[in-house]
């Protein structure tokens, strides 16, 4: 009877090991996906960050990168712990899973809070940015961001092209008679902004605010979906780790 119980314990340990090994592989892939989304956000979409009033969006991306890197390192530790059947490594693995879960929870809360006030922030900040800071001394990064925003989203002005009439740049001599910046033009050439006709510039209903708000909302949704997916894997992993740790403890004692 004792021999049968020992064989049953061995079978359960092997089953849990394989199950945890498969989970750990998907967990590692999920970590790579989380880090990739964070890096993509900062590298490909960093041109829009200067027009945002707060750094919450960028902070969420940095947290995702940190969590993704930690997931990948933890994944390697998990593979070692499973193969060696080392209970101390399994305990460390469990603790790291818990830490990563909490980090992703913080990132999720930040993203949700930012989503709630995204519209108000854009409406208040973008209009003021275009009017007061565009093409002003020390605002080269912001100017580049606005120009890229208008070209990428094919829009002009925060709410409409008429917003540029109140811009310090357009009202200055530096504008050389431009009614809108050249980045509003469908085909950008020198001084093309002097002609503000719909055939020449982008006149989009809702302006750049509507398009940027939708873009950020979609991106936050993607970040949240990836984070939730990995968090669900982590919960499964913590349960499996506890089960394997317990079986190993009973097996050796």
Contact between 147 and 200 (Cβ < 8 Å): no
Domain ranges for the chain, please list them.
Answer: 1-119+221-252, 134-205
pLDDT at position 130 is 84
pLDDT at position 5 is 43
pLDDT at position 92 is 81
pLDDT at position 6 is 47
- What pTM value is reported for the model? 0.67
Residue 178 to residue 200: CA distance in whole angstroms: 13
CATH number for the region 134-205 comes to: 1.10.1450
Give the 3-state secondary structure percentages of the chain, helix then strand then coil, rounded to 5.
80, 0, 20
pLDDT at position 253 is 47
What tokens appear for 59 in the block? Answer: 């902070």
Query: 3-state secondary structure string, 169-225?
Result: CCCCHHHCCCCCCHHHECCCCCCHHHCCCCCCECCCCCHHHHHHHHHHHHHHHHHHH
Ranges of residues in the chain whose predicted pLDDT is under 70: 1-13, 45-50, 52-57, 85, 110-111, 114-116, 118-119, 244-253
Residue-wise pLDDT tens digits, 202-232: 987 778 888 888 887 777 777 777 777 777 7
pLDDT at position 245 is 64
Q: Tokens 């990132």: give the residue.
A: 107
pLDDT at position 219 is 75
């Amino acid at each position: 009877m004792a021999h049968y119980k020992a064989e049953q314990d061995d079978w359960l340990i092997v089953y849990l090991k394989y199950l945890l090994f498969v989970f750990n592989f998907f967990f590692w892939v999920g970590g790579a996906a989380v880090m990739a989304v964070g890096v993509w956000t900062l590298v490909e979409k960093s041109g829009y960050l200067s027009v945002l009033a707060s750094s919450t969006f960028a902070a969420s991306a940095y947290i995702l990168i940190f969590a993704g890197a930690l997931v990948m390192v933890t994944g390697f530790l998990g593979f070692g712990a499973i193969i060696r059947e080392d209970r101390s490594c399994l305990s460390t693995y469990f603790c790291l899973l818990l830490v990563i879960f909490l980090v992703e929870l913080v990132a999720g809360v930040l993203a949700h809070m930012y989503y709630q006030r995204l519209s108000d922030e854009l409406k208040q900040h973008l209009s003021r940015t275009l009017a007061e800071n565009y093409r002003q001394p020390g605002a080269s990064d912001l100017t580049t961001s606005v120009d890229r925003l208008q070209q990428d989203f094919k829009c002009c002005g925060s709410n409409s092209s008429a917003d540029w009439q109140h811009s310090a740049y357009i009202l200055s001599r530096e504008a050389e008679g431009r009614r809108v910046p050249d980045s509003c033009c469908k085909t950008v050439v020198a001084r093309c902004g002097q002609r503000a006709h719909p055939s020449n510039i982008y006149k989009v209903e809702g302006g750049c605010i509507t398009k940027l708000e939708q873009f950020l909302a979609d991106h936050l949704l993607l970040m949240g979906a990836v984070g939730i997916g990995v968090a669900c894997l982590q919960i499964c992993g913590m349960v499996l780790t506890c089960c394997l740790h317990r079986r190993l403890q009973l097996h050796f004692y």
